[in-house]
Amino acid sequence: MNITKKLGLTLVAAALVTAYGCGKKEEPKQAAAPAAPAVETVTVKIGHAGPLTGGIAHLGKDNENGARLAVEEATAKKMKIGGKVAVFELLGEDDQADPKMGPTIAQKFVDAKVAGVVGHLNSGVTIPASAVYNQAGIPMISGSATNPKLTEQGFKNVFRVVGRDDQQGPAVAQFLAAQKIKKVAIADDATAYGEGLANEVEKTLKAAGIQIVAREKTNDKATDFKAILTKIKGRNPDAVFYGGMDATGGPMVKQARELGIKAAFSFGDGACTDEMAKLAGAAAEGLICSQAGLPASAASKGFNDAFKAKFGEVKQYAPFTYDSANLLIAAMQKADSADPAKYLPELAKISHKGATGTIEFDEKGDRKNAEITIFTLKGGKIEPIAVVQGGKSLSFEEFLKAAAPAPAAPAAAPATPSAPAPEAPKK
């Protein structure tokens, strides 16, 4: 009996398990979501070179930051070139403002297979480097090199987005001449930029009947200017013009005041920075200087807001290197290719609305209708006071008014339904 009972219980239990198992619904298996198609990308390298060490490293870094902002913004847009999403990469190099480093870094960019180059800062470095880019067929745009020789070489791949020294020199010289001065002393740092600009200033002043009472030279590494300043003091000029960078221009004007030189001091764009007040202190107050382009304050609000949020205040030419990088990228988009041979023709004929206005190039690669701005240093800051364009000078306030967009016309009043339509004029 016990065996039979146990056997019965076992059969009952098995039946219950079978019944439960048969009654349980199986959950349907969900189909796996199809994998998103992989996005094909292409890396586009753009080179930037400028002095990142030495006395004018602040200007070189400013230029690099302008180009970097453009590259980062372009990558964020996920634009397509040749059917692939473009990832732009900026390769930055320090040329130390040394002409000998120009070709070396240019070859380094060629070997890295960059699609284009923004730079260099100094004319003396840019000119020898440009020969290497030309041989390799790589487009190069400078946002600050102003010596005319750069675009007089006949290279079809070389461009600049600022004015030339044969525009800048006459502009600052004409401004000085308008101050009714009679005698001017001129000095330069013996670089392609400094000497070239000083030559243009001298030429214009002489044509205006102003006497050049001294022409002195120093170098771009000098720190003591007392010897040439003593000679200049003996000639008693009304004004002094110096062709060189702020790293030497600041100490020069400071030492001039210490020697009792009361002449007005004037400079080109290399020394047209707020850094002059840091280097010369109160001695820099009232100096006159020029920039081969519009001031950063006149650049687009979008650029200025973005740059300040990421890098702080603009030092000088960052809006122009930002535009330079964007010009390369815009030409690649138009050609749908990052191949220099394919997009270079688009770059040469481009019309691009940039942070510094509409940019178009002439047959030499110079910017059409480039502006030159005259500044004075007031309260430790350089302030724009006039803009020269096409040989015509306007106060900065007048220029801004002329450049401001016309106010929108008021909307036309709706026609009165009951008013009869005017008759067509009889022929």
Domain ranges of the chain: 41-162+299-368, 166-291+374-403
Given this model, what pLDDT does residue 124 score?
96
Distance CA 188, CA 217 (A): 5
* 3-class SS of residue 359: strand
Whether the CB-CB separation of 56 and 64 falls below 8 Å is answered with no
The pTM (predicted TM-score) of the whole model is 0.83
Sign of the CA dihedral with 55 first, then 56, 58, and 61 last: negative
Given this model, what pLDDT does residue 33 score?
58
Q: Which pair of structure tokens corresponds to residue 361? A: 């190039």
Q: What is the assigned CATH class of domain 166-291+374-403?
A: alpha beta
φ, ψ dihedrals at 89, nearest 5°: -130, 125
Given this model, what pLDDT does residue 34 score?
60
Whether the CB-CB separation of 112 and 47 falls below 8 Å is answered with yes
Give the pLDDT of the chain (427 residues) as one tens digit per residue: 444 444 344 433 444 334 444 444 455 555 555 655 667 999 999 999 999 999 999 999 999 999 999 999 999 999 999 999 999 999 999 999 999 999 999 999 999 999 999 999 999 999 999 999 999 999 999 999 999 999 999 999 999 999 999 999 999 999 998 888 999 999 999 999 999 999 999 999 999 999 999 999 999 999 999 999 999 999 999 999 999 999 999 999 999 999 999 999 999 999 999 999 999 999 999 999 999 999 998 999 999 999 999 999 999 999 999 999 999 999 999 999 999 999 999 999 999 999 999 999 999 999 999 999 999 999 999 999 999 988 788 999 998 888 776 555 555 444 444 434 334 333 3
Distance CA 29, CA 213 (A): 95
Chain centroid, CA 382 distance in Å: 19
Given this model, what pLDDT does residue 402 score?
82
Secondary structure element (H or E) that encloses residue 241, with its range: strand 239-243
**Sheet of 381-389, strands arranged across:** 211-217, 183-188, 239-243, 264-267, 288-291, 372-378, 381-389, 392-395
DSSP 259: T
Establish whether domains 41-162+299-368 and 166-291+374-403 are of one fold. yes
Angle at 39 between CA 36 and CA 43, to 5 degrees: 160
Determine the topology of domain 41-162+299-368 in CATH: Rossmann fold (3.40.50)
Using a 10 angstrom Cβ sphere, with 0-12 exposed, 13-18 middle and 19 or more buried, the burial of residue 59 is: buried
